């Protein structure tokens, strides 16, 4: 679990909910969004990301992506960004491109 605080004093936490195969981001006690994944011992495929309407525009999806990708790196997993948000986020943050296998990058326009 990763925890942090955004301006305004609201605690923001990201957890890996392995029972639901998704990373979840909370503001305080409220679920603000999630990123679904499929995981094997060697890779993690991100398939869908959603942030609740009431939580939009706060950078939560980016924090969720960064936390999930940092965890993938720590676990030595290859990343398959089927989710358009993750694909776009990686494209804007090239320091995460190495997580996507070189032979798969063209499939994701990376």
Which pLDDT score, from 0 to 100, does residue 5 have? 42
Q: Name the residue among 29, 20, 71 with its Cα closest to residue 47.
A: 20
Which pLDDT score, from 0 to 100, does residue 10 have? 67
What residues contact residue 54 under an 8 Å CB cut-off, 6+ apart?
Answer: 32
Which pLDDT score, from 0 to 100, does residue 11 have? 87
Q: What is the pLDDT of residues 2-40, one digit of tens each?
A: 444 444 456 889 999 999 999 999 998 999 999 999 999
How is residue 106 written in tokens?
Answer: 């063209």
| Domains, the chain | 2-108 (3.40.630.30)
Q: What is the pLDDT of residues 61-74, one digit of tens each?
A: 999 999 999 999 99
pLDDT at residue 51 is higher than 90: yes
Angle at 70 between CA 85 and CA 39, to 5 degrees: 70
Per the listing, tokens 């993690």 go with 44
Q: CA-CA distance, 78 to 100, in Å (whole number)?
A: 6
pTM of the model: 0.89
Average pLDDT, the chain: 92
């Amino acid at each position: 679990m990763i925890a942090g605080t955004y301006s305004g004093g609201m605690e923001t936490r990201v957890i890996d909910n392995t029972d639901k195969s998704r990373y979840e981001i909370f503001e305080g006690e409220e679920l603000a969004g999630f990123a679904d994944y499929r995981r094997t011992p060697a890779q993690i495929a991100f398939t869908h990301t959603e942030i609740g309407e009431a939580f939009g525009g706060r950078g939560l999806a980016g924090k969720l992506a960064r936390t999930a990708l940092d965890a993938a790196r720590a676990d030595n997993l290859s990343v398959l960004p089927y989710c358009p948000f993750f694909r776009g986020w990686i494209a804007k943050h090239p320091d995460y491109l190495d997580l996507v296998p070189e032979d798969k990058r063209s499939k994701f326009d990376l």
